[in-house]
Amino acid sequence: MRRPYIAGNWKMNLTPSEGAAYAASLAEAVAKEKPSCRIMIAPSFVSIPAVLEAVKGSDIIVAAQNMADHLAGAYTGEVSGQMLLDLGVKTVILGHSERRQYYGETDEIINSKVLLALSLGMDVVLCVGETLEERKSGNLENVLKRQLEVGLKDVKPEQMEKITIAYEPVWAIGTGETATPEDADAAHKFIRSTVAAIYSSSIAENLVIQYGGSVKAGNVKALMAKENVDGALVGGASLSLEQFLPIITYDK
């Protein structure tokens, strides 16, 4: 049985004080509502210490949105996995399409980050997803296959329990456009079969696959009802309690 896993990617939003205030109210709401899903929030690096403090004692996972592809050294402006671990952050989102699109992260770079995070014992949410052009030209499956095969290269079968995949079609991110539950399920099914081919059917069966792209209170239920949709990676609608609480309590 795969436990539903819903995450909020704050991107470059909320200052440390805004983030801490919101995270404290989220922790309070979670204590009251007791959602059945696993919950994660990913603030910006500088907000992490204040947010960790604000959710102390709750089960909310605080993750990073990215990390460096090197352990330590002369890499100005970068944040290492060890620095995150030292704060108490054990989960990292890698390969987000905004990292791929705006910061030139290739599948190879993302793979080295995945391997590094796993070597440090961290949990990884690996993002994959196609652009509109790639979908329209019939390349959806080729793109997902490449992102998974290269992104997971040299990841050992026993490390796969540390991996969550987030399927985020680029055309659905921040656009208000959502993949239909059927489209999402089909892509997730393909991701699961690709992982089964690389590893095994039992690893694929246990793999948690989140959907991301304009997830909101109004569409989360229909998405989560699909067999292969095990969670959500929420951007815009994760930035306030008003919008995020109904998402994490979608099954109430």
Q: Does 209 bind ligand 13P (CB under 6 A)?
A: no
Q: Residues of 5-40 as b/e, b for ≥16 C-beta within 10 angstroms?
A: bbbbbbbeebebeebbebbbebbebbeeeebebbbb
Binding ligand 13P (rule: CB under 6 A), the pick from 60, 165, 173, 195 is 173
Per the listing, tokens 């205030």 go with 21
94/117 with CB nearer ligand 13P? 94
Q: Which residues are catalytic?
A: 96, 168
Distance CA 133, CA 171 (A): 9
Minimum CB distance to ligand 13P smaller for 94 or for 115 = 94
231 binds ligand 13P (CB under 6 A): no
Smallest distance from ligand 13P to CB 120, Å: 22
Cβ burial of 89 (10 Å; 0-12, 13-18, 19+) is buried
Considering the complex, state which of residue 35 and residue 95 has its C-beta at the smaller distance from ligand 13P: 95
Query: CA–CA separation, 195 vs 207, rounded Å?
Result: 9
Binder among 105, 107, 130, 168 for ligand 13P (CB under 6 A): 168
Query: Is residue 214 at the binding interface for ligand 13P, with CB under 6 A as the rule?
Result: yes
Residues from 44 through 83 that contact ligand 13P (CB under 6 A):
none
3-state DSSP helix/strand/coil % of the chain, to nearest 5: 50, 15, 35
Q: Give the H/E segment covering residue 226.
A: none
**Which of 4, 5, 6, 9 lies at the binding interface for ligand 13P (CB under 6 A)?**
9
236 interacts with ligand 13P by CB under 6 A: yes
Residues that bind ligand 13P (CB under 6 A): 9, 96, 168, 173-174, 212-215, 233-237
